[in-house]
Homo-oligomer: A and B are copies of this chain.
Amino acid sequence: MASIIDGKKISEDMLDGLKSSIQKLKDEFNLTPGLAVVIVGDDPASHTYVNMKEKKCNEVGMYSEVHRLPESISELELLKIIEELNYNDKVHGILVQLPLPEHINEYTVNEHISFEKDVDGFHPVNIGNLQLNRPSFVPCTPKGIIELIKSTGTTIEGKNAVVLGRSNIVGLPTAMLLLNENATVTICHSRTKNLKETTLKADIIVCATGVHGVLTEDMIKEGVIIVDAGIIKLGDKMVGDVNFDDVMHKTSFITPVPGGVGPMTIAMLMKNTYEAALKCV
């Protein structure tokens, strides 16, 4: 029988610990970690995410500022704001909410965030350092995924880990983290043939495709651990890449959607920002 990995509970425990650590930083060093969030345009979902991040900063005792910018802002003006934040001593972490309007190049924006404040881990230097297995800011969702796997008590080393999806935000950095934990890692994607042949051998499967139903009961072996990073709107409810009810009886551990990876992502953002501040001590 599967155990459900309770991402909500794990993230709350983590944030409790973080709150104490932040209080210590304030008491001992008079330093308050600060996060700047930049959002461009009016996408309601993006604004919801940003509001959640702001609220979470307050809860753990961090300083936050949100820059809500009009859809019409030029790339250059956005880069100027980022440059100011790079030099702002109150701000230890900078996050630009994605997606950005079409006239703004996402890569250019990420590249202009100081890699020392890049709490999203999207700067090429941080991506390179993660691959080199060196200290770096690790993207929040992959960092959360590894924590969820570790929470099961399983040893990652030597396991066959399969990552479905190769996005720069989730799939690829998750693959790198699993490799750094000494798993044998296979990266599958839309061009993969005979996916089932690969997933049937997996001890750990991370789904990050955004395609509901990409992994079904017949494609997994007994006792597999599944972490589902998909968030797909199906009618009026949110579902993941896998059909939870169908597969769970064959898994040893599985994350629900919602309440699995999602809450961990925001907790890891808080953690990354705290760690960015810690470097200023």
Bound-state CA distance A158–B198 (Å) is 13
Whether A68 sits at the interface, judged by CB under 8 Å, is no
Whether A166 sits at the interface, judged by CB under 8 Å, is yes
Residues from chain B with Cβ under 8 Å of A172 in the complex: 131
Considering only residues 122-178 of chain A, those with a C-beta below 8 Å from chain B are: 123-129, 131-132, 134, 157-158, 160, 166, 168, 172, 176
CB within 8 Å for A168 and B124 given contacts A184-B189, A189-B184, A198-B184: no
User: Could you tell me the dominant secondary structure of chain A's interface residues?
Assistant: mixed
Considering only residues 99-118 of chain A, those with a C-beta below 8 Å from chain B are: 107
Copies in the complex: 2
Chain B's nearest CB lies how many Å from the CB of A132? Answer: 6
Bound-state CA distance A179–B160 (Å) is 18
Residues from chain B with Cβ under 8 Å of A201 in the complex: 197-198
CB within 8 Å for A168 and B107 given contacts A186-B184, A191-B158: no
> Top 3 nearest A-B pairs by Cβ distance?
A124-B128, A127-B128, A128-B128
Can you name 16 A-B residue pairings with CB atoms under 8 Å?
A: A124-B129, A124-B134, A125-B125, A125-B128, A126-B128, A127-B128, A128-B129, A128-B131, A157-B191, A158-B192, A166-B179, A179-B187, A182-B189, A184-B193, A185-B187, A198-B201
